[in-house]
Homo-oligomer: A and B are copies of this chain.
């Protein structure tokens, strides 16, 4: 969804937390990333990102749930680059619930 000329949410509202600020805060912290396809997730330390929210994760773990059996396999990946286009949700803290 895009908004044309979005007057940013009440800029002087102290409690406001812009998406870019949330991701900024996650740099060098653990994050949990859920991909669009609904069965792939990652945790790891966010080392960097850009305007397309392509994400560099270190000490990453990939969780892949088989859509037929529901069985989940994991992979340890030292460092990875994720295509921001495929990301559905980012959860700061990296604890999968």
Q: Report A's interface with B, CB cutoff 8 A.
A: 1-10, 13, 15-24, 27-28, 35-38, 40, 47-56, 75-93, 97
* In the complex, residue of chain B having the shortest beta-carbon distance to the beta carbon of A5: B20
Please state the number of chain copies in the assembly.
7
Residue from B3, B36, B78 within 8 A of A93 (CB atoms): B78
Give Cα A30–Cα B15 distance, bound, in whole angstroms: 14
- With both beta carbons as reference points, the residue of chain B lying nearest to A42 in the complex is identified as B89
Enumerate the 5 nearest inter-chain pairs by beta-carbon distance, A residue then B residue, closest first.
A19-B54, A1-B53, A1-B83, A17-B47, A6-B51
Give the residues in chain B near A88, CB-CB below 8 Å. 35, 82-83, 86
Q: Are A2 and B53 in contact (CB under 8 A)?
A: yes
